[in-house]
Structure 1
Amino acid sequence: MGGTWTDNVFPETELVSGNLRLRAFGAGDVEDVRLACSDEEILRWLPLPRPYDLEAARGWCTDFSHHLRTSGDGIHWAITDRDSGRLLGTIGLKSTDWTAHVSEVGYWVAPWSRRQGVAVGATRTVAGWLLGECGFERLELRAATGNLASQAVAERAGFVREGVLRNAGHVHEGRVDLVAYSVIPADGLGLPKVEARTITD
């Protein structure tokens, strides 16, 4: 891809690495997304609708996640098991700066898929694609200071802790400080080989 986009939009792309397949959301994901996003741990750290009902899940899977890509904000994937196709979580790029070639990664993992390395594997997959094939220069990750699980993902994925952004995030309980992490090509992480396939209409 070489880092050149005429319209500052990521093409719809499927990524495969290890036992994970990252693909666009669809109508078949609605019930699993509803179940996952009704989990208290996810709702604790993400400002999602509460309660998270079928309408919210359907809107995300069939409309909003796709609009975020076509708007130029980033790209969002359903993390699935490569063999079974079961939804394991989500990961996405957001707040993409197309001039500076910088983006931010965020994720959640469904309750039935935790403690299996899903978030770490998916984060490294996205980093490998973005910094490799896409030619980006920096990938950022932010986690609430109280969200120790997300910070552990960042560190296990090889991101460098840069400091604390005061009062920079918000959750249902109010404002929170965020720990800022990043990875750049010069870090030499040995990111995984990613099989990328562009989806065309």
Structure 2
Amino acid sequence: MQITSGGLELREFGPRDAPQVAAFVRARDLTALPPGPPQAVADVDGWLAETQQRRLDGAGVLLAMVEAASGEIVGSIGLRDTDWRAGRSEIGYGVLASQRGRGHASEAARAVGRWALTEGGMRRIQLRARVDNVASVRVAENAGYQREGTLRMADWDGEKGHDLAVFSMIATDL
């Protein structure tokens, strides 16, 4: 799977990403990787294989957000909690701190949402963001997701609860 949009290439993580993923692990900067990243350089190859197996198992898809001009991974985006039969999934993303504010997350969220609702066969893509995470809420809005409401105290950060804003995109939104 590969999507090109704006200056980004969104593609499945694979063996060619091992050097960059290992560099993120060595630097302990995992913000460009999806939840559950490798914790040691020795785990990188196995983790990359697991990301591809996730799609094959029908659980969703994890994509590297690659800046086309440089070939550098600037973040990740994916579909999770996917129910292919019901045609729904949730989108999640993360961007390196040094790459934030450049529109990468909005561009990627828009492109993956569009792909999922057309070629991907989905009926609904959902996106949840903590209401106090202004940047993430702005990403959802800029990407064209419609705000549906708030899930009160639906997120737990290990210390306290947080409200989540719920956004969605359906085919008529495209």
Q: TM-score range by the shorter chain?
A: 0.7 to 0.9
Name the CA distance, whole Å, in 1 between partners of 2:162 and 2:43.
24
Unaligned runs of 5+ in 2: none
Q: Is the 8 A contact 2:26 2:41 kept in 1?
A: no
- TM-score normalised over the length of structure 2: 0.83
Moved over 4 A (4+): 46-49, 55-59
Per the alignment, residue 157 of structure 2 pairs with 171
**How far does the alpha carbon of each residue in 1:138-163 deviate from its partner, in whole angstroms, 9 at most, with x for none?**
11000112211111100111111111
Unaligned runs of 5+ in 1: 1-12, 190-201
Deviation at 1:59, TM superposition (A): 4.9
Task: Give secondary structure in 2 for the equivalent of 1:133.
Answer: coil
Q: Is the 8 A contact 1:158 1:183 kept in 2?
A: yes
Report how many aligned residue pairs link the two structures.
170
Identity of aligned residues (%): 40
Pairs within 5 Å for 1:42-53 = 42=31, 53=40
Higher RCO (CA < 8 A, seq sep 6+) = 1
Task: Give secondary structure in 2 for the equivalent of 1:21.
Answer: strand
1:25 aligns with 2:10: no
Q: Is the 8 A contact 1:47 1:172 kept in 2?
A: no
Query: Aligned match of 1:134 in 120, 126, 130?
Result: 120
Deviation at 1:55, TM superposition (A): 5.1
Query: Aligned match of 1:122 in 99, 104, 108?
Result: 108
RMSD: 2.7
- TM-score normalised over the length of structure 1: 0.73
Per the alignment, residue 64 of structure 2 pairs with 78
Per the alignment, residue 25 of structure 2 pairs with 34
Change (3 A) 1:35 1:81: farther
Change (3 A) 1:55 1:107: farther
